[in-house]
Amino acid sequence: MKAAHHEAIDPKANDLVREAIAYSIRVHGEVGVQVAAYLNGRLVIDTWDGIADPATGRRVDGDTLFNVFSVTKAVTAVAVHIQAERGLVDYDAPVSRYWPEFGAKGKNGTVRHALTHRLGVPFMPEGVTPETMCDWNWMVRELTGMDPQYAKKSAYHAITLGWILGEIVRRTDPQHRDFGTFVQEEICAPLAIGDLWIGIPDAVEPRVATLIDYPSLPPYRQPGSPGYRSQPTNIGTCAAVYGRPDVRRACIAAAGGIFNARSTARFFAMLANGGELDGVRLLSEARVRSLGQPRPNPDEVDPVLMFPLQVGMGGLRINDRPEPRMSTASVGTNPRVIYHPGAGGSIAWADPDARLAVAICHNRMFDTYVSADKDPFVPIGNAVRKALGIPT
């Protein structure tokens, strides 16, 4: 299968993008980077450079796996859309229709509210630890007992979103599979995707890159803030937590993804091609188009992130209003692009007009609250588009 996916690799395009990766390492301080791109459903760029593990000198290759954090949310949202496609989920139904216990404490938001971060459960439970975060049943039980906060208003569900959407999927799955299994069997297997892991198997552990932390906490996660309550330091997106063997193996469906670029790009290629790839259709074209529609009150300031969250009706980010103070400019200027960034910079996007999908994975977390000229991935995104003749 790998050979078939590589039939369309463009050596000149690959070289141009690899030069941009080298620039990001040399000038911006990146350590290890992978980039992959699909155009018209074919893998046309698959390249990398740098170090996966500074302690041993292990270099990045095409099979290296990286923590991608919130890029995971795109996969988790699509799992909900698959259930809607099958008539098993109604976006306008309350979450409690599928998960009755969730309705405790007056939580009456809908599946659509959940997808668009307006459900009112953005904070992690009191007393959460890395160990309890790895326990799906503990997290689900604790979330059912939480009081709603900012209900039906924007409040970024940084980590809690995964258990909420994942439990909706699990409860509506006739086989009641755990969420990680559902992703493997209903997304990865049909699309021949080898490395989208939300909970890795032991066998791939040696391929995971060493995570290199932020120089400091992002502004929205300072102690005492709503952002801190959404990601307390003891379970935050850092090497001490997400480098743990138990966390790597847990199903943390909003932030625990461990992917490589070629698999991430292949997933987004399905979206760039209107829900179908290589004759396998997961979503209708109309449903994929709906992912780019803004949610209500798009300019509302999110109290968790401290700026307006530009998320579409389907749970992916939309590019019609670039986010202030957060560098996602690598996706280009087309307002119809749908994408998802992850903590520390990993990002992937689908451009439906160009039928282009791109993924950038790396191991050095950088401060994404920077201008585009300081984003190490903007030159890479520009290089991809230039190499493929697509307007920036």
Show which residues are catalytic. Answer: 70
Burial of residue 3 (number of CB atoms within 10 Å: 0-12, 13-18, 19+): exposed
Question: Contact, 329 vs 335, CB < 8 A?
Answer: no
Residue burial 348-366, b: 16+ Cβ < 10 Å; e: rest: bbbbbebbbbbbbbbbbbb
Contact 119, 109 (CB under 8 A): yes
DSSP secondary structure letters along 211-267 = PB--SS--GGG-TTSHHHHHS-GGGSSSHHHHTSHHHHHS--TTT-EEE-HHHHHHH
Structure tokens at 353: 């007009």
Angle between helices 72-85 and 261-272 (to 10 degrees): 40
